[in-house]
Amino acid sequence: MTNTEITSEEIYENIQNKVPLLILDLRTPENYMAGHIEGSANAKCTSMQQKQAIMSKLPRDQKIILIDDDGNEASQNANMLARFGFDAHYLKNGIKSWNKTLVKSKQDTVISNEKLWESLKSDKDVFLLDVREPMEFAEFKIPGAVNVPLSELFTSSAREKIPKDKKIVTICSHGNRSMVATFALAQRGIESTSLEGGMSRWNQVLNANTAIKNADLTIIQVEKVGKGCLSHIVGSEGQALVIDPNYPPSKYIEFAEKEGLKITKVIDTHQHADHVSAARELAKITNAELYFSAKEEYKIEHKKVDDGDIIHIGKKQVRVIHTPGHTAGSMTFVVDDKYAFSGDTLFVESVGRPDLRDKVEEFASDLHDTIHKKLLKLESNTMIFPTHHGEGIKSTEKGIFYTTPEMAKKLALLDLSKEEFVNKVVSITTPRPMNYSIIIKVNKGTIPIIEEQVPDLEMGPNRCSIQSS
Asked whether the predicted pLDDT for residue 451 surpasses 50, the reply is yes
In terms of Cα–Cα distance, which of 282, 32, 400 is closest to 182? 32
Using 50, 70 and 90 to split pLDDT, how confident is the model at 357?
confident
Give the pLDDT confidence of 236-245 residue by residue, as tens digits.
999 999 999 9
- The dihedral built from the CA positions of residue 143, 228, 278 and 177, taken in this order, carries a sign that is negative
pLDDT for 1 equals 41
Q: Average pLDDT in the 113-133 region? A: 91
Domains of the chain: 5-97 (3.40.250.10), 110-201 (3.40.250.10), 205-457 (3.60.15.10)
- Between CA 34 and CA 123 the distance in angstroms is 25
Per the model's pLDDT, the better-predicted residue between 336 and 356 turns out to be 336
Give the pLDDT confidence of 259-293 residue by residue, as tens digits.
999 999 999 999 999 999 999 999 999 999 999 99
Give the pLDDT confidence of 401-449 residue by residue, as tens digits.
999 999 999 999 999 999 999 999 988 877 888 889 999 999 999 999 9
Output the 3-class SS for 233-281.
EEEECCEEEEECCECCCHHHHHHHHHCCCEEEEEECCCCCCCCCECHHH
pLDDT for 180 equals 82
- For 283, the 3-state DSSP assignment is helix
- Percentage of the chain exceeding pLDDT 90: 63
Answer for the pair 286, 253: CB distance below 8 angstroms, yes or no: yes
- The helix (H) or strand (E) run that includes residue 73 is helix 72-83
Give the pLDDT confidence of 58-100 residue by residue, as tens digits.
778 889 999 999 999 899 989 988 998 899 999 999 999 998 9
Answer for the pair 330, 270: CB distance below 8 angstroms, yes or no: yes
pLDDT for 469 equals 52
- Between CA 72 and CA 76 the distance in angstroms is 7
pLDDT for 65 equals 93
CB neighbour burial string for 186-204, b if at least 16 within 10 angstroms, e if fewer: bbeebebbbbbbbbbbbbb
How distant, in Å, are the alpha carbons of 10, 67, 135, 159, 326 from that of 189?
21, 18, 29, 11, 52
The set of catalytic residues is 172
Chain-centre distance of CA 404, in angstroms? 28
Chain-centre distance of CA 291, in angstroms? 26
Using 50, 70 and 90 to split pLDDT, how confident is the model at 107?
low
pLDDT for 50 equals 63
- Percentage of the chain exceeding pLDDT 70: 96
DSSP code, position 159 = G
Give the pLDDT confidence of 166-209 residue by residue, as tens digits.
899 999 998 878 888 887 888 777 888 999 889 999 999 999 99
- Between CA 360 and CA 137 the distance in angstroms is 30
Q: pTM (2 decimals)?
A: 0.85
pLDDT for 261 equals 98
Asked whether the predicted pLDDT for residue 22 surpasses 90, the reply is no
Average pLDDT, rounded, for the chain: 90
- Between CA 265 and CA 245 the distance in angstroms is 11
Angle in degrees, CA 243, 356, 354, rounded to 5: 80
Q: Lowest mean pLDDT: which of 23-27, 53-57, 123-127, 200-204?
A: 53-57
**Start-to-end C-alpha separation, the chain:** 62
Asked whether the predicted pLDDT for residue 384 surpasses 60, the reply is yes
Residue 16 amino acid letter = Q
CB count in 10 Å sphere of residue 459: 21
